[in-house]
Every structure is written in structure tokens, then in C-alpha cells.
């Protein structure tokens, strides 16, 4: 064996990586995680993007959003001891119920963080929409816009001062982020947009969702879910006034509500209490969070059942005077019952693994009735407010009424939708005081979380909060 022949084999072996460039060896450093997949890989296929959309729904389910705190924050901050009280140990919820929130409040922080996680998730879906199979592309895009729209709507009404119809609404809302985050740079230090801009974004997203989504979409968002949320958004924008500006929003709210009622094929569940604690969507559910034993908002420290149910932590007590204010025979009062300790609890969220209705048909009747009542003239949809209210009353096993006032409609609304997350937003929109706080009091607006102010010097804190 010749020495040079030997060298000619050995040296290239060594030199393979040393001298001949590193491209071949570089690949050996390119390993893939196994329980996770690289973000670059995740959204390369239609299946991948659709899975990411499912992931966004699971974020909506979290205890910080529809699984819990979007409801609880609204009910505790917008409630008074005459309806609801916090009897639990968590100081965070206590601060909210006392309307003296600090910027460190973990519930507020959690809602902010999780809502933006949902937004980032759907921004990824929207950004990658072109890889989705054409047959499903519109639906997927529609759902993504739906989720983004409802998140901006929830954020702006919690973290911004109320919308004033007919004005510029330059008060600060929340930052609008429409592109997915791939890396973190200084560009992620976004500023707050105005309330006007955030509402416009929510409406744009929901309108797109309405146009893209099919008539029915299993338990996920369909075109009527988008309409139902649009009805809510417009109603929120209308405020309490009866002027041209408000009427413009009321008209749109009534139209969207009417579309759901007349075209959506939904129907009220015959028994009021059967609308809650179901494992499947009911005929009344327009959009509901789907929970199972495996996927839910929690059973120990988070989730609606955890706090409301007498069988769980039982930390939210319902006022006897509120339950006493129902008309005799109103079946809707039956969802509140006494525990062994003679305390009233709300049993709409009894089972941590049951669905959580987010928007349901009864609310559409109430929106159409309220808007038509306030607008006067020929009712949109051709159904009078009194007819709509009687539809609601009959299901509650109450006698129909011959006529209604706006106050009657709003009272009906407060019974029908009690503790479903409307309290704070209804108070603000109807310009009602909450305890001694005016509807536009800074104390009814959540603080921008302190951790967020610390991480982003471009954010301006809300009035009344330090840090």
C-alpha cells in the first residue's frame, strides 16, 4: 500500500468538513423538534393552517377569555351588591368587584395577553391563507377574521373609554396588530390606536367574516355568528342617545340581528334552563365555546363553572334581591338556587366540561326589539318590539304583554342575559352609573397591564392608573 494513496483518502476525510466548505455539515445542525414543529413548518400546508385556526379557538376557550374572565370581569366590574358579589379569596377578582384595580392585576393582565395570543394566532392564519385548499379557503379566512374582530371588540370595550356616537372617538383604544409575529424587535413596541380605529377594525373583520363564512359551520363560527357580533358592536356604538348618529348604529344593529333571526334557522330552546350546561350546541346557540373533559377553561383556578357553581369554588354569590325581582313564574329565576349554606349561586355554568354560550338567539330578539323601539317607525324585520319581547317572555313561561317601553325591553334583557358577560358593557352603553361610578369613569376601564407598560415604552396608561 502506497503512502500517498493512504493520505489521499485520509486527508479528504478530514478535509471534508474542514476545507471543502461547510454546507454538507451545516445540515447536520438542522434538527427538528419532535413534540413541537418549527413555526416555519407549521403553516406550510393547508392542514397546518387549519390546525392553527383550531388552536386559535382553544385560546378563545381559555379562562382568561370566553372560558371565564371576559364574562367575570364584565359582571364583577359592572355589577353591584344588588346583583352579584365576589366572596372568594382571589384578590384580583376582589379588586375588580370593588372597582379599584391595580395595573398589576393578574386577571386584567391575563385577558390582555391571551386576547393578543388569539390575535397573533389568526394573524398567522390570515397571512398563510394562500396555502389553504381553495375549497376551504374562504371559510378559514372568514373564521380568522371573525376571531380577530371579536377580540378587538372585547379589548376596546374593556381597555378604552366608551364609544361616543357622532364624535371622533380619539380616546385611546388598544394597539391594532394585523401581522403575525415572527421575531421580536423594537417594532413590536406598538402604540395604542384610537377607540374609533379599533371599532373600525372590529367591524371590518366581522364584516369580512360575515361575507366569507358559510351559513353553517358545525360548532365553529358561521356567517350568523359574525352578524350576531356585528349587531352587538353596532348596539355598543349606538350608546343611549336618540340622535342621527345613534340611529345609524341602531339601524345596523337591528338589521344584523334580524338577519340572524330570519335567515339563521335558530330557534329558542323550549326550556330556558336547557340552554345552559350542554355538551352540544343548542338550537339557540349562535356561537358557543365547546368544552369537553379534555379541553376546557379549567376546573380548579379558572373557568366560569369554577367560580359560579356551588359545587366548585362557589366564590360568586348572587343577590337575593336580584332573584326576587323576577316576575312570579319567570322560569329564568330557576337557574339561581340556594346552596346548603343558603347562598344563591348562578347555575348557568354548572359543569366545567359543558359548552359556554357566547352569543345566542334570545339576545338577537332583544337587540332587534331595543333598536326598533328606539328608532320608532316601521320595525326592521317587520316584527314589532312587543312581539319580540313576547317571544322571549313566552319561553320563560310568562304571559305576553300588550305593549312595551324601552325600559321594559332593557329589564327583560337584564333578566334574560343576566351573568352572561353583558353587565359592564350594557351599563356603559346605556350611560348608567355602576354604583357611584359614572358610565365613563376611568375606574370602569381596565388599566393597561403594568408588565405591558414595562415591556413597551410606547404604551400610554389609562387615566386614573399609575404604572
CB-nearer residue toward other proteins: 28 or 341:
28
Which residues fall within 8 angstroms of residue 444, CB to CB, at 6 or more apart?
Answer: 77, 78, 99, 424, 427, 428, 434, 437
Distance separating alpha carbons of residues 327 and 182, to the nearest angstrom: 55
Measured at the CA of 377, the angle between CA 375 and CA 380, to 5 degrees, comes to 75
CB-nearer residue toward other proteins: 41 or 263:
41
Distance of CA 165 to the CA centre of its chain: 22
CB-nearer residue toward other proteins: 48 or 88:
48
Cell of 461: 396608561
CB-nearer residue toward other proteins: 14 or 402:
14
- Evaluate whether 317 touches 307 at the Cβ level (below 8 Å): no
User: Least distance to other proteins from the beta carbon of 146, Å?
Assistant: 14
User: Least distance to other proteins from the beta carbon of 292, Å?
Assistant: 6
User: Least distance to other proteins from the beta carbon of 295, Å?
Assistant: 5
CB-nearer residue toward other proteins: 78 or 180:
180
User: Least distance to other proteins from the beta carbon of 340, Å?
Assistant: 20
User: Least distance to other proteins from the beta carbon of 288, Å?
Assistant: 10
**What single-letter DSSP state applies at residue 141?**
H
- Strand pairing report for 336-338 and 356-360: unpaired
- Evaluate whether 257 touches 233 at the Cβ level (below 8 Å): no
Distance separating alpha carbons of residues 234 and 231, to the nearest angstrom: 5
**Among residues 147, 146, 120, which one has the least CA distance to residue 43?**
120
Distance separating alpha carbons of residues 250 and 371, to the nearest angstrom: 5
CB-nearer residue toward other proteins: 30 or 134:
30
Cell of 126: 390570515
Which residues fall within 8 angstroms of residue 297, CB to CB, at 6 or more apart?
Answer: 61, 62, 63, 66, 67, 68, 289, 291, 303, 304, 306, 352, 356
User: Least distance to other proteins from the beta carbon of 439, Å?
Assistant: 27
CB-nearer residue toward other proteins: 157 or 192:
192
User: Least distance to other proteins from the beta carbon of 219, Å?
Assistant: 6
CB-nearer residue toward other proteins: 91 or 338:
91
Q: Per-residue b/e over 96-135, b at no fewer than 16 CB within 10 Å?
A: bbebebbbebbbbbbbbebbbbbbbbbbbbbebbeebeee
CB-nearer residue toward other proteins: 39 or 401:
39
User: Least distance to other proteins from the beta carbon of 180, Å?
Assistant: 8
**What single-letter DSSP state applies at residue 194?**
B
Give the three-class secondary structure for 63. Answer: coil
CB-nearer residue toward other proteins: 58 or 251:
58
User: Least distance to other proteins from the beta carbon of 251, Å?
Assistant: 34
**Among residues 276, 256, 270, which one has the least CA distance to residue 347?**
276
- Strand pairing report for 344-346 and 316-318: unpaired
User: Least distance to other proteins from the beta carbon of 109, Å?
Assistant: 8
- Evaluate whether 254 touches 230 at the Cβ level (below 8 Å): no
Measured at the CA of 404, the angle between CA 401 and CA 407, to 5 degrees, comes to 130
Which residues fall within 8 angstroms of residue 300, CB to CB, at 6 or more apart?
Answer: 306
CB-nearer residue toward other proteins: 1 or 402:
1
User: Least distance to other proteins from the beta carbon of 33, Å?
Assistant: 4
Amino acid at each position: 500500500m502506497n503512502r500517498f494513496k493512504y493520505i489521499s483518502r485520509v486527508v479528504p476525510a478530514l478535509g471534508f468538513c474542514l476545507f471543502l466548505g461547510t454546507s454538507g455539515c451545516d445540515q447536520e445542525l438542522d434538527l427538528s423538534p419532535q413534540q413541537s414543529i418549527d413555526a416555519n413548518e407549521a403553516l406550510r400546508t393547508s392542514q397546518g393552517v387549519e390546525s392553527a385556526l383550531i388552536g386559535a379557538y382553544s385560546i378563545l376557550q381559555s379562562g382568561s377569555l370566553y372560558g371565564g374572565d371576559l364574562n367575570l370581569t364584565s359582571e364583577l366590574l359592572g355589577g353591584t351588591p344588588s346583583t352579584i358579589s365576589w366572596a372568594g379569596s382571589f384578590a384580583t377578582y376582589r379588586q375588580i368587584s370593588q372597582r379599584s384595580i391595580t395595573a398589576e392585576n393578574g386577571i386584567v393582565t391575563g385577558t390582555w395577553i391571551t386576547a393578543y395570543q388569539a390575535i397573533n394566532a389568526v394573524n398567522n392564519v390570515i397571512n398563510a391563507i394562500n396555502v389553504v385548499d381553495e375549497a376551504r379557503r374562504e371559510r378559514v379566512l372568514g373564521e380568522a377574521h371573525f376571531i380577530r374582530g371579536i377580540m378587538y371588540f372585547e379589548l376596546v370595550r374593556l381597555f378604552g373609554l366608551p364609544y361616543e356616537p357622532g364624535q371622533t372617538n380619539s380616546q385611546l383604544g388598544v394597539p391594532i396588530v394585523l401581522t403575525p409575529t415572527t421575531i421580536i424587535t423594537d417594532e413590536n413596541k406598538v402604540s395604542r390606536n384610537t377607540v374609533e380605529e379599533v371599532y373600525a377594525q372590529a367591524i371590518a373583520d366581522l364584516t369580512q367574516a360575515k361575507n366569507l363564512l358559510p351559513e353553517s359551520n358545525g360548532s365553529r363560527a358561521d356567517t350568523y355568528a359574525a352578524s350576531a357580533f356585528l349587531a352587538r358592536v353596532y348596539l355598543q356604538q349606538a350608546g343611549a342617545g336618540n340622535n342621527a348618529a345613534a340611529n345609524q348604529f341602531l339601524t345596523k344593529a337591528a338589521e344584523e340581528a334580524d338577519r340572524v333571526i330570519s335567515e339563521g334557522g335558530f330557534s329558542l330552546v323550549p326550556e330556558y334552563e336547557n340552554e345552559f350546561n350542554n355538551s352540544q350546541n343548542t338550537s339557540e346557540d349562535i356561537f358557543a365555546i365547546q368544552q369537553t373533559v379534555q379541553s376546557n377553561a379549567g376546573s380548579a383556578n379558572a373557568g366560569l363553572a369554577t367560580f359560579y357553581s356551588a359545587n366548585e369554588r362557589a366564590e360568586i354569590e348572587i343577590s337575593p334581591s336580584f332573584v326576587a325581582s323576577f316576575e312570579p313564574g319567570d322560569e329564568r329565576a330557576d337557574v339561581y338556587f340556594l346552596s346548603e349554606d343558603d347562598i344563591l349561586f348562578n347555575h348557568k355554568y354548572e359543569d366545567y366540561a359543558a359548552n359556554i354560550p357566547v352569543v345566542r338567539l334570545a339576545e338577537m330578539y332583544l337587540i332587534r326589539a331595543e333598536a326598533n323601539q328606539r328608532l320608532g317607525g316601521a320595525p326592521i324585520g317587520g316584527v314589532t318590539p312587543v312581539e319580540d319581547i313576547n317571544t322571549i317572555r313566552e319561553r320563560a313561561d310568562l304571559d305576553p304583554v300588550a305593549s312595551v317601553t324601552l325600559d321594559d325591553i332593557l329589564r327583560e334583557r337584564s333578566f334574560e342575559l343576566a351573568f352572561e358577560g353583558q353587565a359592564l358593557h350594557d351599563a356603559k352603553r346605556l350611560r348608567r352609573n355602576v354604583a357611584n361610578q359614572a358610565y365613563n369613569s376611568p375606574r370602569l376601564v381596565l388599566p393597561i397591564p403594568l408588565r405591558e407598560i414595562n415591556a413597551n415604552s410606547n404604551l400610554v396608561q389609562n387615566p386614573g392608573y399609575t404604572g
